[in-house]
Amino acid sequence: MPTLLAIESSCDDTSAAVVRDGRVLSNVTAGQAVHVEYGGVVPEFASRAHQRNIVPTVAVALQRAGVTAQDIQAVAFTRGPGLIGSLMVGVSFAKAFALARDLPLIEVDHMQAHVLAHFAEPPYPDFPFLCLTVSGGHTQLIVVHDALDQEIIGYTIDDAAGEAFDKSGKLLGLPYPAGPEIDRLAAAGTPVLQFAQPDPGELNFSFSGLKTSILYTLQKKAKEDPGYVRDHLPDICAAVQEAIVSTLIGKLVTAAEQTGLKQVALAGGVSANSALRARLEAEGQQRGWTTFVPRLEYCTDNAAMIGVTANFKYVKALFAGQDVAPAARF
């Protein structure tokens, strides 16, 4: 029954969790408001905020789990991918904790962990399953053969799906992160506009052309009616959302057909999107899929998924040495 302390600090959330025998005892995340006024994550500010937040976040995670530092048997941390300065804070903290208490270290791949967030609480998918991971930094289609045997079969060649929401929202004057706001506004709109999107083929995604298409379309509309964006915001948001969601679902359907997998999962912060969830359910019903979407707490960046992944590694004694270093990319 290992009791693990897990740390996640790859982007702008400082998170700590305690996981015992694969069960989440606590999961505490401190967000960073400092980035809002800049319209995106400022790496230097993120590192500084992690440095301030990490000790109190871990303290609360231990307390909520009802354990003390003496109960911890291994320390897990996100090694990457992510912002290097942010990762360094988490890795250094984990090393120091492990060194002080003579504990093993477990390094975790952030992307594997997003997928294994499905094991934070039941219902668990069976292996193999298909997972679409969509967040501010990632867009991947993965065949999960086993917990630690994940095959990437599709990925974005440029922007991530969440980035596409955020950058589109910026064009519309919405605050960062714009994904939730687009979702909310789109509920009252109709996708009357159509935006062009290049298809890089196979199971890969490309979202960077979407911004250009939105920009040109809205510039054209504004020539005829200068108040167009202001007066049609819900319809424009509905069109942006439709463009992103239909691309994601289209590739997911192709991937399910190609692999023959019937268990289909979503992961990452964009899984919160109501249209994406609704389309997944609709496709699932039509195609006989069993679908899985983790609770939002486990979709966005969180340390529970790091701890759950680390538990799979602990049972195989896959430990890291004190010489382990963070990696911005793998």
Q: What is the contact surface with ligand KG4 in residues (CB under 6 A)?
A: 11, 135-137, 162, 165-166, 177-180, 183, 268-270, 272-273, 300-301
Shortest Å distance, C-beta 229 to ligand KG4: 19
The interface partner of residue 136, options being Zn ion, ligand KG4, none and the CB cut-off 5 to 8 Å by kind, is: ligand KG4
CA distance 298 to 174: 25
Strand partners, 109: 80
- How far is the CA of 161 from the CAs of 140, 208, 234, in angstroms? 10, 10, 19
Phi, psi values for residue 143, rounded to 5°: -95, 120
Q: Interaction with Zn ion in 286-315: which residues (CB under 5 A)?
A: 301
Q: What is the DSSP string of 217-230?
A: HHHHHHHH-TTHHH
C-beta closer to Zn ion: residue 235 or 301: 301
Q: Interaction with Zn ion in 184-243: which residues (CB under 5 A)?
A: none
Q: Which of 57, 78, 135, 263 binds Zn ion (CB under 5 A)?
A: 135
Shortest Å distance, C-beta 179 to ligand KG4: 2
136 assigned ligand-binding residue: yes
Q: What is the DSSP string of 287-321?
A: HT-EEE---HHHHSS-HHHHHHHHHHHHTTT--B-
> Using an 8 Å Cβ cutoff, are 147 and 114 in contact?
no
Q: How many DSSP H helices and E strands does the chain contain? A: 11, 10
301 assigned ligand-binding residue: yes
26 assigned ligand-binding residue: no
Shortest Å distance, C-beta 241 to ligand KG4: 7
Q: Interaction with Zn ion in 52-111: which residues (CB under 5 A)?
A: none
35 assigned ligand-binding residue: no
110 assigned ligand-binding residue: yes
> Shortest CA distance to 270 belongs to which of 188, 193, 178?
178
Instruction: Determine the interface stretch with Zn ion among 135-143, 166-174, 219-227, 315-323 (rule: CB under 5 A).
Output: 135-143
Q: Which residues bind Zn ion (CB under 5 A)?
A: 135, 301
